[in-house]
Structure 1
Amino acid sequence: MELTPPEFTDYDTRLGAYAVIVRDDHVLLALWDEPEVPILMWSLPGGGVELDETPAEGAVREVREETGYDVELTGLLGVETFVMAPEKRFARVGDRPQKNVQVVYEATVTGGELTHEVGGSTSEARWIPLAEVPALERIGLIRKFIG
């Protein structure tokens, strides 16, 4: 059987998976502090999906890495996409735009204990009261799925 070569695209794609975890009127967030980001911003726990993972597997792994918690995904909340211009990309790779696909799940904690990621893209994980979320510097996914 002959395989057809993949169609060429003039952009890159990044698949990410994230979790919304709410407990006792608090939401679990991670402080995103990569050097390329000019201000510290709160994010949903999650991140890039590895080549050999499903989005669900990536979400579970990323939550564990960023927060120390084991989670069970309980539902799919949605999928967001946006395009990042080449000059806005954090890891500058030539002059190609990047299409970001973000899969967002609902999840519950099943084990582990709260810890902070070491050597990753976040430096702190914290349970934040839902009422305080609108006042935070936060990424768009939080605005969309929490407030």
Structure 2
Amino acid sequence: MASYAVITDDEGRILLALWNESPDGGRWTLPGGGVDLEETAEQGAVREVREETGYDVRLDRLLTVDSYVIPASRRHIETDRPMKAVRVLFAATITGGELTAEIGGSTDEARWFTPAEAARLPHVSLVDLALDLL
């Protein structure tokens, strides 16, 4: 399970993070990621946003729960088993912090984009889901 935040600013831009572990090379995604075993989905989203963007956030509401199957051939580990991924998306508001790049993690930078710019970037399907929700 992974939790993500859809964060927009007063100009209507969306905050994305550049995921450096994509099998297809760097791809933009929503700030967020895997929920640790001892965390709730909400706690995981808040922690991941802080790690990947430097921002503290308040989760405003649940937007959607999305699931999909990753074929064995596209998994990051060598296996013959597919994996079901469950992604929880929250609308969130920045309450503090400062935009910074994650050091030594799964993302290289975070940046603001207009929805039109975000749609043209190399990105994961999660970004399309978020743009549809906006």
1:33 equivalenced with 2:17 (yes/no): no
Q: Which amino acid aligns with 1:114?
A: L
1:120 equivalenced with 2:105 (yes/no): yes
Q: Which amino acid aligns with 1:33?
A: N
Give the Cα separation in 1 of the matches to 2:35 and 2:28.
Answer: 19
List gaps (5 residues or longer) in structure 1.
1-14
Deviation at 1:133, TM superposition (A): 1.5
Matched residue, 2:49: 63
Q: Which amino acid aligns with 1:58?
A: G
4+ residue stretches of structure 1 with deviation over 2 A? none
Q: Which amino acid aligns with 1:95?
A: D
Richer in helix (by share): 2
Matched residue, 1:132: 117
For the pair shown, the structure with the greater C-alpha radius of gyration is 1
Matched residues, number: 131
Q: Which amino acid aligns with 1:74?
A: D
Deviation at 1:85, TM superposition (A): 1.6
Q: What percentage of aligned pairs have identical amino acids?
A: 51
Q: Which amino acid aligns with 1:73?
A: L
Give the Cα separation in 2 of the matches to 1:37 and 1:31.
Answer: 13
Matched residue, 1:5: none
Matched residue, 1:103: 88
Give the Cα separation in 1 of the matches to 2:112 and 2:130.
Answer: 16
Query: Aligned-residue CA RMSD in angstroms?
Result: 1.2
Deviation at 1:97, TM superposition (A): 1.5
Deviation at 1:137, TM superposition (A): 1.0
1:50 equivalenced with 2:36 (yes/no): yes
